[in-house]
Amino acid sequence: MEPPSTFHPCDEAVIATNDDASDCKRSAVRLGYWKDDYIGFFVRNQERKAPEINRGYFARVKGVEMCVEKFLKKTNGNCQIINLGCGFDTMYWRLRDTAHQVKNFIELDFPTVTAKKCYTIKRNKVLLSKIHDEDGEVKLSPTDLHGPSYHLMGVDLRNVDEVDHKLQQAEIDYTLPTIFLAECVLVYIEAQNCRNLLKWIASKFQTAVLVNYEQVNMNDRFSDVMVSNLRARGCSLAGVESCLSLDTQTSRFIDCGWTGSRAWDMVQVYQSITPSERHRIERIEMLDEGELLLQLFQHYCLVVAWIGELFQDIEITVEKQMSTLNID
């Protein structure tokens, strides 16, 4: 059914995008944009990123969190989370510190990435202690880690049979409401492979939601520069054809058999964050270039797609529709 899982020439550069994302999250966390007691275990780099980057990551992390929180409230924790292309993301540990608990938390990425994540977890008591309870046991291989309700596994998302096999190892329950997270991941996957994955999810899960954060409006001068910068680093945006507009971002889910989908650009997502929270982070750093942040926000989006009826009323409340940001 699937093309064989072979290493593509670009894979190394795609894997390296996780180092970038993790460094950026670490930079923003150190400055106080949001609280994350765990990212520092995975990233030692202390480099300070530009204010626009820090603010962009703040909106990204908040946007994804808002969707996850709505889902957890709706399901009352009777659900699963599957983090596709998880990188060094720390949501599992951050959630453990809240009242929200889930039945199963599964993280998937290339084995090169999960091997590094496994290695860090294995050597860190704080990370490990939140994976096993008193009598729970943690099973480890170089690339995979299985706790009672946390599973981290190396897999190529382009190979659906392999994904299916791995999810079974993680004791997936296809009947339980499930939220998939894909934070800057699908854009690196060739369109046909991505369609196969989305169709497969739609065929297997009764009730599911996918939160996709990635590029949009990739048809102008700004996006040309973004694409050529990435290409210079050996990384092509293989799935960019789905990132041309909010429309292409949502329609691909419907074409793959999902019940519905909605998308917002990051200008709208930023404006949906509570004013007090926005004012707090806007005081952390002055922006060098407000125009750059606006362009960044216009070229990224949050997409929510669903199977079944559970999330059809998903809405983010945009305070005021503005074409520009109210930047100090």
Ligand X SMILES: C[S@@+](CC[C@H](N)C(=O)[O-])C[C@H]1O[C@@H](n2cnc3c(N)ncnc32)[C@H](O)[C@@H]1O
Residue 198 in contact with ligand X, rule: CB under 6 A = no
Number of residues engaging ligand X in binding (CB under 6 A): 20
Residue 23 in contact with ligand X, rule: CB under 6 A = no
Asked whether 182 and 211 are in contact (CB, 8 A), the reply is yes
Q: Which is nearer to ligand X, 18 or 236 (CB)?
A: 18
DSSP string, 199-246: HHHHHH-SSEEEEEEEE---SSHHHHHHHHHHHHTT---TTGGGGSSH
Q: Which of 63, 87, 177, 239 binds ligand X (CB under 6 A)?
A: 87
Q: Which of 86, 179, 294, 302 binds ligand X (CB under 6 A)?
A: 86
Asked whether 153 and 107 are in contact (CB, 8 A), the reply is yes
Q: Which residue has the tokens 């046991």?
A: 137
Identify each DSSP E strand in the chain by its residue range.
80-84, 104-109, 139-140, 145-146, 150-154, 178-183, 208-215, 260-265, 300-307
Asked whether 146 and 138 are in contact (CB, 8 A), the reply is yes
Which residues are CB-contacts of 50 (< 8 A; sequence separation ≥ 6)? 288
Residue 185 in contact with ligand X, rule: CB under 6 A = yes
Q: Which of 38, 150, 180, 188 binds ligand X (CB under 6 A)?
A: 188
Residue 33 in contact with ligand X, rule: CB under 6 A = no
Q: How many CB atoms lie within 10 A of CB 139?
A: 10
Residue 14 in contact with ligand X, rule: CB under 6 A = yes
User: Rg of the chain over CA atoms, in angstroms?
Assistant: 19
Minimum CB separation of residue 157 from ligand X in Å reads 4
Residue 18 in contact with ligand X, rule: CB under 6 A = yes
Residue 311 in contact with ligand X, rule: CB under 6 A = no
Report the site for ligand X in 150-179 (rule: CB under 6 A).
Answer: 156-158
Residue 214 in contact with ligand X, rule: CB under 6 A = no
Residue 110 in contact with ligand X, rule: CB under 6 A = yes
Which residues contribute to the site for ligand X (CB under 6 A)?
14-15, 17-18, 21, 85-87, 89, 109-110, 113, 156-158, 183-185, 188-189
